[in-house]
Structure 1
Amino acid sequence: MSPNTILAFVAGAFSLTLAAIAACRKKRSLATWCFSIGMLVFGLESLFGAMWRDAVIPEKAAFWGSLTLIAKSFFPGIWICFSLTYSRGNARSLPSRSRLLVVAAVLIPVGISVIFRNQLLPVSLIDSDSDSWVRSHAAARMLNGFQLVSAVVILMNLERTFRSAVGTMQWRIKFVVIGLGIIFGAQIYTASQALLFSNGILVLSSIDSVALLIGCALIVIAFRRSGFGEIDVYPSHAVLRTSLTFVLAGAYLFVVGVLAEVVARTGKADAFALQALIVLLAFAGLAVALLSNRLRQKIRSLVSRHFKRPQYDFRRIWTRVTHSVSSAFGQSAMCAAAAKLISETFNVLSVSIWLLDEDHLAFGASTSRSASEANAVLQDPQQNFASIRMLTKPLDLEKAKGAHVEALKQISLSQFRTGGNRICVPLCAGSRCMGVAILADRVGGTPYTVEEFDLLKCVGDQVAVGLLNLQLSDEITRGKE
C-alpha cells in the first residue's frame, strides 16, 4: 500500500468521524445535516480514491475511479445548501433563487454522473512509466468544470457569512470557514487541472487528501471553540462587491496555469504534487493572516508608531458613524449597527449595548451572545440602574468602584483571560443617558489610550442622539394614532 493510499484512508476516516459527530448533536439544523452528509461524501470520495490508486487490475481501477467521480457529483448541491444556511438568521426562509440554485446544483452533476456513467471511466495511461497521467472523456471534464464553479460559489457564500459576523461571533466560525476554504480551494485546484489538460489529467487525489486532513483539523479547532454551534447573521449583498473569493480564486487559477505550463514543458509530473502542496499551504496561511484581527491590529500600530500616522482615521470613522445612525430604522437595528461599528473600529470581540428603560436595563444588541443568553446574565430584570444616568464619560470597570460598577460587571462577563480591561461607554444625548455600551475581550488585551477614550465618547454620544431621535419619532407616531 503506497503512502498516498494511506493518506487517503486517514483523511477519509477523519471526515467520516466528523460526519458522525455532527449527526449525533442534540440540536440539528438544516446546516448541521448538510455538513454531516457533506463530510460523509468527502470521506467516501477519499476512500474510493484510495482504492482507485491502489488497484492493480484495470477493471477494478476503472470501477473505483468511476465511483470516485460519482461521489464527487454529490458535493456541489449539498455544500451549496450548507453555505446558504450555515449561521444564517434567515436559513428557514431561503429566497426562491437560492432554492433553485440548490436544486440545479444537485440535479446537474448527479444527472451527468448517472446518464454518462460509462464516460466517467478513466481511460488508459498516457505514459506507462508513471501512474500520474490518465485520459478522461468529455463527460468527466464537464463534471469537473461544474465542480470548479460550484466550489467558487460555496466559498463566496461562506465569505458573506463570515464578513457579516463581527466580534466573538466571527471568532466562533472562523476556523470552520478557513477549513472548508482549504478543502474547496483544493477542489478548485484539482478541478482546474482537468480543464487545463484537455488530452490528459493529473490524478491529484493526494492533494485532495492533504487538503481534507488540514480542513478537518481546523474544523476540530472550531468544534473546541463553539461545539459546532451556529450564530445568526444576515449577510448584505454589498459584501459581494468586495469579495476576496474572486481574488483568491483568480490567483489560484493563475498559479495553476503557470505550474501546468512548467509541467507540460519539463514533463516532471512527480514534482507537481510537491509544488501543489506548497501553493495550497501558502494560500491557507494567507487566508489565516487576512482573517486575523490580531495581525491587523499589529500592522495598524506599526504604521502609527514608525510612520508618524494617527492610529485612527477620524474622518472615515465619523463618516461610518453618520451612515450607521442615519440608515438604521428602529432601536434594535441602531444598536446592532453601533455594536458592529465599535467592535470593528477598536478590535473588540465582545460589545454589548444595553438601553435604559426607565431605571432598568434592557438588552439592545451584542457581538458575542444572543438576546436569550444576554438576558440570562441579567440576574434581576428589575434591578435599579438609575445611578448609570450620572455617567458622562467612558470608565474602566476594572478600576472604578461603586454598586453600579459591580452590577455592570455581572452583565459583561469576559470570555478570554487575555482580553484586557472591560470598558463602559455611556450613551449620552446631552444630559439624557440612553444606555451603555460595554466593551470586553479586546484583541491582544491592548490597553485603551486617552485618544481612544475620547473617540469612544464621541461615538457613544452620536449613537445616543440617533437612539433619542428614534424614540421621539416613535412617540410622535403614537401620538398621531
Structure 2
Amino acid sequence: MALSLIAVLLLLVTVLRIVQLEKRSAVRSFLAFPVLALAVLELADLFALESFWPARDWKRTGLFVEALLPPLWLLLSLTYARELPERGLTVRTRVLLACACLLLLVPAFLPVTSFYYAPDFPVEPLLFLADAGFYFYIAILALLVMALINFESTLAHASSEALWRVKLDIVALVATLSVLVFYYSNALLYRSINMELVPLRSFVFIVASLMMLYARTHWRGSARVKVSQAVLLKSVVISVIAVYLILLGLLGEGMRYFGPQFPRVLTLALCFSGGILLLLLLLSERANREFKVFLHKHFYQSKYDYRSQWLGLTQRLATFDYADELAHRVLQAYCEIFGVRGAALYQHQKGVGWYCVGGLLELEPMAETIEDDSPILASLREKQWVFSSSDANPELTEADRALLARYDISFVIPLSEGEALSGFIVLGAQIVPDEQYRYEDFDLMKTIARQVSVAMQHQRLSEQLTQAKAMEAVGSLATFVAHDLKNLAATISLVLQNAGEHIDNPEFQKDMLNSLGNTTKKMQGLIGRLRNLGESELLQRRPVEILSLARRCAEMVQGRTIDVTGSCQMVLGDAEELQKVLLNLFLNAVEASAPETPITAEVGCNASPFIRVTDRGCGMSPRFIRNDLFVPFRTSKRTGLGIGLYQSRQIVAAHGGRIEVASVEGEGTVFTVHLPVAQAEPARGCSAAA
C-alpha cells in the first residue's frame, strides 16, 4: 500500500512538472497523459486491493484505464523527441492509433464478469481470465511492445547531442513499459493477472518518476530526432533486451520455489533496477568508448571500421546548406569517431596574421586568436602531422601550455590547402582519459582533415560564385537601366540639335515642351521601378489603339520623319510598355538608315493586329539574326548595349505576342510585331486618333 501511494504521489508531481515546463517553453508533447493514466490505474488497483469504497467497482475503472494505455503510449512513442514530417503522422500510423482506441469499446459494452473471475479476491489477488479478458490483455501487451520498439528506435537514431538531452526520459519510459509488459505477460503465460506484482510495478513507477523529475531539475530543452535508415545501436540494444527478458523469465519461474512473496517482489525489483542501470550503461559515452576500445584491442585487427566511417563522413559532408552547418557536422564527426568531449574549428583570416574560431561544439567559448608564429602552428607546418598535447613538446611557451590546459585540448589537426595551413581542428578532453592513441588514430584524423579541407574549399568557392552571380545580376540591371537612359538621352539630344534653328518657332516650342515632358515622365517611371526592385511587375492591360500609339511614338523621334499608315486596331496591352517597343524599333531604324532614306510603320490586321516597321538601312546577315539578334549584350552597333531588342521581345512575349524579322544586308530590315486583339470596339478610338 505504501509503495502504491508513493507511486501515485510521484506520478502526479511528475505530471505537474511536465505541464509547468511545457507551458513555460511553449513546447507541447503528449508525455503528461500516459503518466497521468498510470497514476489513475495505480490508484484504482490500490482501492480495489484494499477494498476502499466497496460500492464502487474499482476494477471496472481499472479496465477503462488499461484500455486507454495502448493508444496513449503508442502516440507518445511515435511523437516524443522525434522530428515529424510536415504532413504529420503517416496514414498507417493513424490507422494503428484508431484501432488501439477501439479497445475502449470493450469494457464499455462487456460486463466485468466477461473478463475474469476471482472467487477469493482481494484475499487472493489473482484474476483468472475468461476468453474476452485473455484476448483483451493480449492486445494490450502487443500494442505496448510496439510502443517499446518505437522508443528503442528513437534511441537508436539519436545523435550524441540529442541523446544527452532525452536519454533519462526515454530510459524511464522504457522501464515503465517493460514492467507493464512483464505484468501483462502473465495473461499469455498463465491466462491470469497476478496482482501480487502491483508492488513491483509501483516500485518501477517510483524509479521512473524520480528519473523524469531529476531530468527536469537540470532541464536544457528537449531534442528532435529524425528517424532514418541509419541504425547505430539497434542490434545491440535488442540483443541486450532479449537476453535480459529471458533471464528475467527464468528468475520469475525460479522464485516460485522461494518462501513468502516479499523476497520475490524484492528480487524482481532488484532485477528491474539492474536492467535500468544496464540500459543507462549502454547509453553512457564513456562506457561505449571503453567497450569499443576493448573489443578492437582484443578481437579486431583494426581499431576502426574504415568503410562505415568513410560512408558516414561522406554523407555528413554531402548534406549541408551553409558554412556553419558544415563546421558543426565536421566537429560532431571528430567527437564521435575519436571519443572526445568537444571540438573547435580555427580558420585563417587573410591579411591579419592570425587564426580565429570558426566553429565550436561542446567546448567553453574560445575567444582567443592564435598568431601565425605560434609554436603549435609551427609544429603543424613543419611536421604536417597531428599535434598531441600529451607529447613532450619542448617548443611550447607558457601561454601555449596555459591555452591547452584551460580548454583541456588533447589534439590539434592541421587543415591544408596545398602547402598553406588554412586552418586546424582542436579536439577537447578524451572521454576515456587513459585511452592510448596511436599511428592508426592520427592517420585517420589526417585523412578526414584532407576531405574536410576539400569540402570547405568547395563551400568557399560556392559562396564566391554566388557573389559573382549577384554582381553579374547587378551589372545586367545597370546595363538595362543604361539602355533606357540612352534612349531618353537620344530624344533630348535630338531636341537640342533642332533647338538652335527652330527655337523661335511656336510649334517647335510646343513640340519641344511635349517631348521634354514625356522624357521626364519616363525617367520618373524608371526611378520608381528601381525603387520597387524585386517586386513583381505586372502589366497594366487595357485596350490600346496601336495606330494612335505608333503616331505618338513617331512624333517623339526628333529630326527624322517616320511615315505611319494603316488601319485602326485595338489590342489588349500595357500602353507604356508597348511604347518602349515601338520607340526601340524606330530608334534602331533611324540609327541603321541614312538621313535621306524613308522609314515607314504600317498598322494592320492579319488574323491578329500587327505593326510593321520597315527601313532601307544596312540590314543584317542571317548568321547575326540567328545567333545574336535577340541575345542580350550582343550588338552590331559601335555604341549599342545589345539589350533593346531582347527587352522588346520580352515585353511582346509577356503580352502573348511575337516579333518577326526579315532582313537583307545592304537593303534594309522589316520588324513585325503581332499582338493579341482586344474585345473592345475600336471605332471610337480610331475617330479620336484621326
Q: State the TM bucket, normalised to the shorter chain.
A: 0.7 to 0.9
SS in 2 for 1:233: coil
Q: Residue type of the partner of 2:80?
A: Y
What is the aligned partner in structure 1 of residue 182 from structure 2?
189
In 2, Cα distance between equivalents of 1:437 and 1:309 = 28
SS in 2 for 1:69: helix
Aligned-residue offset at 1:124: 1.5
SS in 2 for 1:235: coil
Aligned-residue offset at 1:235: 2.5
What is the aligned partner in structure 2 of residue 298 from structure 1?
290
In 1, Cα distance between equivalents of 2:14 and 2:259 = 36
Give per-residue Cα distances to partners, 1:20-43, cap 9 Å, x unaligned: 011112113232xx1122222222
Report if aligned partners of 1:263, 1:269 keep a CA contact under 8 Å in 2.
no
Q: Residue type of the partner of 1:110?
A: L
Residue from 126, 141, 161 that aligns with 1:148: 141
What is the aligned partner in structure 1 of residue 28 from structure 2?
30
Cα distance 1:427–1:59, how it changes in 2: closer, same or farther (>3 A)?
A: farther
1:282 and 2:278 aligned: no
Q: Residue type of the partner of 1:439?
A: L
Aligned-residue offset at 1:474: 7.5
In 2, Cα distance between equivalents of 1:430 and 1:402 = 31
In 2, Cα distance between equivalents of 1:97 and 1:386 = 58
Residue from 35, 41, 61 that aligns with 2:37: 41
Please, which runs of 5 or more residues in structure 1 have no aligned partner?
415-419
Larger radius of gyration: 2
Give per-residue Cα distances to partners, 1:280-310, cap 9 Å, x unaligned: 22322321222222223334555677x5977
Residues 244-393 of structure 1: pairs in structure 2 closer than 5 A:
244=236, 246-248=238-240, 250-251=242-243, 254-255=246-247, 257-258=249-250, 270=261, 272-302=264-294, 307=298, 313-314=303-304, 316-317=305-306, 319-325=308-314, 328-330=318-320, 335=327, 337-351=329-343, 366=361, 368=362, 392=381
Cα distance 1:7–1:139, how it changes in 2: closer, same or farther (>3 A)?
A: same
TM-score computed with the length of structure 1 as normaliser: 0.75
Report if aligned partners of 1:15, 1:42 keep a CA contact under 8 Å in 2.
yes
Higher helix share: 1
Q: Residue type of the partner of 1:347?
A: G
Report if aligned partners of 2:409, 2:426 keep a CA contact under 8 Å in 1.
no
**Range that drifts further, 104-113 or 10-19:** 104-113
1:104 and 2:98 aligned: yes
In 2, Cα distance between equivalents of 1:413 and 1:83 = 42
What is the aligned partner in structure 2 of residue 19 from structure 1?
15
Cα distance 1:278–1:423, how it changes in 2: closer, same or farther (>3 A)?
A: same
What is the aligned partner in structure 2 of residue 238 from structure 1?
230
Report if aligned partners of 1:353, 1:365 keep a CA contact under 8 Å in 2.
yes
In 2, Cα distance between equivalents of 1:334 and 1:160 = 26
**Range that drifts further, 383-392 or 95-104:** 383-392
1:51 and 2:47 aligned: yes
In 2, Cα distance between equivalents of 1:241 and 1:189 = 24
Cα distance 1:165–1:253, how it changes in 2: closer, same or farther (>3 A)?
A: closer
1:67 and 2:56 aligned: no
In 2, Cα distance between equivalents of 1:128 and 1:439 = 64
SS in 2 for 1:462: helix
1:458 and 2:458 aligned: no
What is the aligned partner in structure 2 of residue 85 from structure 1?
79
Q: Residue type of the partner of 1:71?
A: V
Aligned-residue offset at 1:216: 1.7
Give per-residue Cα distances to partners, 1:152-196, cap 9 Å, x unaligned: 333333333333333344223222222222111111111211222
Give per-residue Cα distances to partners, 1:99-119, cap 9 Å, x unaligned: 516733652333334344645
In 2, Cα distance between equivalents of 1:132 and 1:97 = 41
What is the aligned partner in structure 1 of residue 127 from structure 2?
134
SS in 1 for 2:342: strand
Cα distance 1:405–1:232, how it changes in 2: closer, same or farther (>3 A)?
A: farther
In 2, Cα distance between equivalents of 1:384 and 1:256 = 57
What is the aligned partner in structure 1 of residue 208 from structure 2?
215
Q: Residue type of the partner of 2:41?
A: E
In 1, Cα distance between equivalents of 2:281 and 2:161 = 17
Cα distance 1:117–1:14, how it changes in 2: closer, same or farther (>3 A)?
A: farther
Aligned-residue offset at 1:51: 1.5
Aligned-residue offset at 1:472: 5.1
Report if aligned partners of 1:352, 1:438 keep a CA contact under 8 Å in 2.
yes
Cα distance 1:461–1:274, how it changes in 2: closer, same or farther (>3 A)?
A: same
Q: In angstroms, what is the RMSD of aligned CA positions?
A: 4.4
What is the aligned partner in structure 2 of residue 439 from structure 1?
427
Report if aligned partners of 1:179, 1:219 keep a CA contact under 8 Å in 2.
yes
Report if aligned partners of 1:84, 1:91 keep a CA contact under 8 Å in 2.
no
Report if aligned partners of 1:48, 1:68 keep a CA contact under 8 Å in 2.
yes
Report if aligned partners of 1:395, 1:424 keep a CA contact under 8 Å in 2.
yes
In 2, Cα distance between equivalents of 1:108 and 1:37 = 18
Report if aligned partners of 1:6, 1:50 keep a CA contact under 8 Å in 2.
no
Residue from 408, 413, 416 that aligns with 1:425: 413
Cα distance 1:99–1:289, how it changes in 2: closer, same or farther (>3 A)?
A: same
Cα distance 1:386–1:77, how it changes in 2: closer, same or farther (>3 A)?
A: farther
Report if aligned partners of 1:12, 1:46 keep a CA contact under 8 Å in 2.
yes
What is the aligned partner in structure 1 of residue 165 from structure 2?
172
TM-score computed with the length of structure 2 as normaliser: 0.54
Cα distance 1:228–1:319, how it changes in 2: closer, same or farther (>3 A)?
A: closer
1:8 and 2:1 aligned: no
In 2, Cα distance between equivalents of 1:320 and 1:220 = 37
In 1, Cα distance between equivalents of 2:233 and 2:294 = 29
Q: Residue type of the partner of 1:151?
A: L
Give per-residue Cα distances to partners, 1:367-401, cap 9 Å, x unaligned: x49xxxx9xx588xxx9889599865555789977
In 1, Cα distance between equivalents of 2:180 and 2:95 = 19
Aligned-residue offset at 1:236: 1.8
What is the aligned partner in structure 1 of residue 118 from structure 2?
124
Report if aligned partners of 2:48, 2:58 keep a CA contact under 8 Å in 1.
yes
Higher relative contact order, structure no. (Cα contacts within 8 Å, ≥ 6 residues apart): 1
In 1, Cα distance between equivalents of 2:14 and 2:51 = 27
Q: Residue type of the partner of 2:61?
A: L
Give per-residue Cα distances to partners, 1:138-165, cap 9 Å, x unaligned: 4443343233233333333333333333
What is the aligned partner in structure 2 of residue 417 from structure 1?
none
Report if aligned partners of 1:65, 1:122 keep a CA contact under 8 Å in 2.
no
